[in-house]
Structure 1
């Protein structure tokens, strides 16, 4: 569960070693603004939910990984939606929906450059399976999306 073993850090290190350009879909400041911009009621709900679910976080993350590896999209959606659904609509709107639309728009902007480059994108599983998802937003823009395992 340690962040130094995360997939994002692994690929970040690989890209730095290979001198690959890194293009952020979100800055740390954008993520901070999302997480700190909730109403007090939502912040209290988030804190209480974190405290209540603390003991189960390890098994929940293992189950998410299992569902991902076994291509259980329905299981992923159920698990991730359950987590989002325990908070109010403001939480899902800001944490998932708005960010997914913004990330899809950023990817569209990058791809519109038509510079012949190949891009490797890393985003969290919720951004891939909970609509509006990044892939669904890109499909609406006319891109063909293929999930590869």
Structure 2
């Protein structure tokens, strides 16, 4: 069971399963030349690029002696995401620090682990069986039977599910479903850059890790149940909701990314989820990026956060523009 919970703690660290930095799963740094990108409302730089290279979403901000590169990422993928266009690689190699949504080097102390258990488990007087609608509980049972081998790999017994809250099980089943569909966090964008860090490159985070867990734990039971049921249905129907997002990232198509985000916020529950996990967090992360731009250190920061943080009225790039920065899309 300890193995399973430890695994999920890594998954929740902004889906950066590259915390174990073994060999480079992506075959080293890319070979290729700088690339172009689709237009958006910010200034554009459009050099030529091989069309087979992933375009991604990259922005640049310069404030006196400080520079920030913003990269919208995909947290899990496959080798189709690579190679990445050279301009993104060059921005990374020119940077003094890489900055993730959270600090992936943060150690897991005993106190940290205890707090993690507190937010993921029900009190002794409550169980998942008491909480979920009977029909969903039965579907969940079927989904877990389907992924029996994966459960064993993660050191989990099916009988343990009653101890854990719906949001926690949603995260775990999402990862299992990705694995079943042959997606891997080792092929996510964060993992790629962690594998290619220079020895003298610093690592920073924009958020506290436990704040992420608490935000998920604070969602209403309706929202948690909605998230869990969506993923259970995807498992039972073998739906692949990630393939389209990977294609959007490869193309660097910001308009399609906006449409993708709009299509996943059509219900009250999904709107509440994205309001907290994207819009509210965007405001907080923008404030942290503002501090990096104003610290007068002369450093260059390569900031990697999920691509969906760059769409909508609360997009990080738009919030920084509203603060007076010139945000240039590359």
Specify if TM > 0.5: yes
Q: d(CA) in 1 for partners of 2:283 and 2:314?
A: 7
RMSD of aligned residue pairs (Cα, Å): 1.7
Structure 1, unpaired ranges of 5+: none
Give the 5 Å matches for 1:92-103.
92-103=274-285
TM-score normalised over the length of structure 1: 0.87
| Structure-2 change in CA distance of 1:100 and 1:69 (3 Å) | same
Q: CA deviation at 1:132?
A: 0.4
3-state SS of 2:205 partner:
coil
| Alignment match of 2:232 (pick from 51, 58, 73) | 51
* Alpha-carbon distance in structure 2 between the residues aligned to 1:143 and 1:88: 31
- Larger mean CA deviation between 137-146 and 79-88 belongs to 79-88
> Aligned partners of 1:14 and 1:26: how far apart in 2?
23
TM-score under structure 2 length normalisation = 0.42
Please point out which of 298, 306, 313 is paired with 1:131. 313
Q: Which runs of 5+ in 2 are unaligned?
A: 1-182
2:222 matches 1:41: yes
User: Is the aligned partner of 1:109 residue 2:291?
Assistant: yes
Deviation per CA, 1:72-115, whole angstroms, max 9, x where unpaired?
22211111222233434321211110011111111001111021
Which one of 302, 309, 314 corresponds to residue 120 of structure 1?
Answer: 302
Match of 1:23 in 2: 204
Structure ranking higher on relative contact order (CA contacts 8 Å, 6+ apart): 2
Whose radius of gyration is greater, 1 or 2? 2
Following TM superposition, the consecutive aligned residue runs of length 4 or more in structure 1 with deviations greater than 4 angstroms are: none
Structure 2 residue 248 is matched with structure 1 residue 61: no
Q: Is the 8 A contact 2:264 2:270 kept in 1?
A: no
User: Is 2:266 the partner of 1:71?
Assistant: no
Residue 7 of structure 1 deviates from its aligned partner by: 1.0
Of Structure 1 and Structure 2, which has the larger fraction of its residues in helix?
Answer: 1
Q: Secondary structure at the match of 1:84?
A: coil
Aligned length in residues: 145
Q: In 2, distance between residues paired with 1:36 and 1:12? A: 28
Q: What is the rounded CA distance, in whole Å, between the counterparts of 1:145 and 1:51 in structure 2? A: 40
What is the CA deviation profile of residues 49-86 of structure 1, one whole-angstrom value per residue up to 9, with x for unaligned ones?
A: 122233223xx322112122223222111112222334
